[in-house]
Amino acid sequence: MGGVFTPLNLNVYAYTHQDPLRYVDPDGREITVKRHLDKSGVWRTDIKFTAVLTNASSAKLSQKDMASYARRIEQAIERDYSKTLAKGKEVVTAHADIEVGTKATGGQHTISLVDQIAGSKDVLGMAPFGKKDILVNVGLVTGAVSGGGASLERTSAHEFGHSANLRHPNDPANALKLLTDNLMSQTQYSSSEKVQFNQVMEMYKASSSGLLNQP
């Protein structure tokens, strides 16, 4: 984020956090969750997400509007998935880079603003587990859908979690038990905008096992 006005972006190894041997993402277009112990004894977990935001709805949205939505989604993911725990000995940092386009290229993830999801105008979002396609109800930006804690930010960050293989807390298939008030709760059950640390570790396990970034 920040383009050429952010000095770190001018560094050819910035995308690998200065360590191209440890962090490998050949085309820079995947969800990656990497973890290492740094020299100061801090465990660092780095989450990276690259996507293209497209307007697949009937709404007339300007390029300026779309760029604004992309920044809002970036900020939500970075805020909701980043955390510092264990008195600073455990740090999770999320990085999101979302561009505006008409379609994904080179294996990017896609966030599509759509009129309906699963045949309904009331469904806020959808993303298959571990897959690259995220659908978000355009009504969240036009005002056609509102109330109950629903927002572009929370819905997009929630659906990103599904792309990273996270499930709803009340999903019988959820391996993580006793998770209640968190971002992966559906809006009617919670307005929380934070994930729990064991959910971050679930994302790390999925990434390490090759379960993410599926077509």
| pLDDT single digits (tens) 59-82 | 999 999 999 999 999 999 999 999
Phi, psi (degrees; rounded to nearest 5) at 203: -65, -40
pTM: 0.84
Task: Please report, for the chain, the start and end positions of each structural domain, with discontinuous segments joined by +.
Answer: 3-194
3-state secondary structure of 97: strand
**Higher model confidence: residue 145 or residue 41?**
41
What distance in Å separates the CA atoms of residue 190 and residue 181, rounded to the nearest whole number? 6
What is the share, in percent, of the chain residues with pLDDT greater than 90? 65
Task: Count how many Cα atoms sit within 13 Å of the Cα of residue 26 in the half-sphere of its side chain.
Answer: 2
The fold of 3-194 is Collagenase (Catalytic Domain) (3.40.390)
